[in-house]
Amino acid sequence: MSFDVAQIREDFPILHQEVHGKPLAYLDNAATAQKPRQVIDALARFYERDNGAVHRAVHALGARSTEAYEGARATVARSLGATDPREVVFVRGTTEAINLVAAAWGRSRVASGDELVITEMEHHSNIVPWQLLCDAVGARLRVVPVNDRGELLLEELDAILGAGTRLVAVTHVSNVLGTLNPVREIVERAHAAGALVLVDGAQGVPHMPVDVRELGCDFYAFSGHKVFAPTGIGALWARREILEELGPWQGGGGMIASVSFEKTTWAGVPERFEAGSPNTGGAVGLAAALEYLEAAGPGAVERHERALVEYAEPALRAIPGLRLIGEPADRASVLSFVMDGIHAHDLGTILDREGVAVRAGHHCAQPLMERYGVPATVRASFALYNTREDVDALVAGLHAAREIFGA
């Protein structure tokens, strides 16, 4: 099937509306993405027909829900190129996935004097859990810097990696700069030093084919709501042999083999990491979203979005006073910029009046803002349903802002 953006847009009811009297140009996909009719219908179907409590079900609805939930796990595994669904843990999103690894793996595998490595371009959710872990166990957090273009300085990674390095945690794609990081190369270097690698895939899965076996990483985390699924669901993929060796991170129902006041034993994986009633509807929605993406073709989605970025970049550059933040050689789906004399939040507000939805702020990446010496940027981020018309609306809105501010 060839990639037909007009047909894709037909699947997303929310896109067909006016905001402040202007056609909506939704360019805030890095924050959260819209949902196709196929996902909305799958949720409605599940709640109209199948909803019951999963696992140990003695009635039909419970059995159907269990089948849907475990089927969704298999879909997640397949979409990540993993062969074993038991390597997939359902979580609330990327943030919870990283906290899970920091708690279950970190508390038992990282000791005083050990080192954890992150990068200067991480989202707060791939910084703060590691800071908490370092504080708790007495480990040290090291940071790989970026160059002015917004690319990781891999020679600095080599200098940091050592016998005490336990983990490298890196984002697949920067949510501010759009930089597509060379994950395979990072994995090779980290593994050679004896460290594991966690990839924050929040900005990866929605925009390109992802294959965890090809990447070679040990953990991969992503959020459903950024990949056209509901909020409150996401997944952590981890190599099974790593998961098998870890103890739980939260206690409760569903994660035990047996409980007594004297001794409690743990369920196998992944149940050991899924305490409490799971978000079954969310998992159903996530599977529907990943199937939708699979049908659209992740490779075609990537090419479509790259073409949009290539169309947008020179048009933005041509606006007097506009400065792009980060110009990486390999950029996916995100453009950040500032404009002389106009605060990012004012720009965002003016663009909204023009029907253009963007993000303005620090994008949960305050250390990166500091690196570039800006308090905030405006960020336009693309998804499979965006068009050149959306880019044109953005550019026109920015010209309008210059006039309003006399910039």
Active site positions, annotated: 364
For ligand PLP, the closer of residues 305 and 354 by Cβ is: 305
Let me know if 30 is exposed, middle or buried by CB neighbors in 10 A (0-12, 13-18, 19+). Answer: buried
d(CA 396, CA 207): 26
Among 79, 203, 280, 336, binds ligand PLP (CB under 6 A): 203
Q: How far is the CB of 361 from ligand PLP (least distance, A)?
A: 11
Q: Is 379 in the site for ligand PLP (CB under 6 A)?
A: no
d(CA 152, CA 119): 8
Strand partners, 214: none
The interface with ligand PLP within residues 69-108 (CB under 6 A) comprises 93-95
Q: Which of 399, 287, 216, 215 is nearest to 50 (CA)?
A: 287
Binding mask 170-189 for ligand PLP (x = CB under 6 A): -x---x--------------
Residues in the chain: 407
Query: Candidates 5-13, 41-49, 196-204, 373-381 — which segment interacts with ligand PLP by CB under 6 A?
Result: 196-204
Q: How far is the CB of 30 from ligand PLP (least distance, A)?
A: 6
DSSP per position, 329-390: SSB-SEEEEEETTB-HHHHHHHHHHTTEE-EEE-TT-HHHHHHHT-S-EEEEE--TT--HHH
Q: How far is the CB of 101 from ligand PLP (least distance, A)?
A: 13
Q: How far is the CB of 92 from ligand PLP (least distance, A)?
A: 7
Give φ, ψ of 222 to 5 degrees: -150, 165
For ligand PLP, the closer of residues 65 and 150 by Cβ is: 150
The site for ligand PLP, by CB under 6 A, has a size of 15
Q: Is 28 in the site for ligand PLP (CB under 6 A)?
A: no
For ligand PLP, the closer of residues 286 and 398 by Cβ is: 286
Query: Candidates 99-107, 199-207, 264-272, 333-341 — which segment interacts with ligand PLP by CB under 6 A?
Result: 199-207
Among 195, 202, 210, 369, binds ligand PLP (CB under 6 A): 202
DSSP per position, 46-65: IIIII----SS--SHHHHHH
Binding mask 336-365 for ligand PLP (x = CB under 6 A): ----------------------------x-
Q: How far is the CB of 163 from ligand PLP (least distance, A)?
A: 29
Neighbours of 239 (CB within 10 A): 17
* Contact status, residue 175 vs residue 365, Cβ threshold 8 Å: yes
166 to 140, 171, 231, 235: CA distances (angstroms): 10, 17, 31, 22
Q: Which residues contact 245 (CB under 8 A, 6 or more apart)?
A: none
Query: Candidates 10-18, 63-71, 78-86, 122-130 — which segment interacts with ligand PLP by CB under 6 A?
Result: 122-130
Q: Which of 267, 36, 325, 174 is nearest to 183 (CA)?
A: 174
The interface with ligand PLP within residues 124-153 (CB under 6 A) comprises 125-126
Among 34, 75, 181, 223, binds ligand PLP (CB under 6 A): 223
For ligand PLP, the closer of residues 128 and 154 by Cβ is: 128
Handedness of CA 362, 363, 364, 365 (dihedral sign): negative
Query: Candidates 40-48, 133-141, 200-208, 388-396 — which segment interacts with ligand PLP by CB under 6 A?
Result: 200-208
1 to 8, 296, 384: CA distances (angstroms): 12, 8, 15
The interface with ligand PLP within residues 30-49 (CB under 6 A) comprises 30-31
d(CA 226, CA 4): 21
For ligand PLP, the closer of residues 63 and 364 by Cβ is: 364
Let me know if 318 is exposed, middle or buried by CB neighbors in 10 A (0-12, 13-18, 19+). Answer: exposed
The interface with ligand PLP within residues 282-321 (CB under 6 A) comprises none
> Site residues (CB under 6 A) for ligand PLP?
30-31, 93-95, 123, 125-126, 171, 175, 200, 202-203, 223, 364
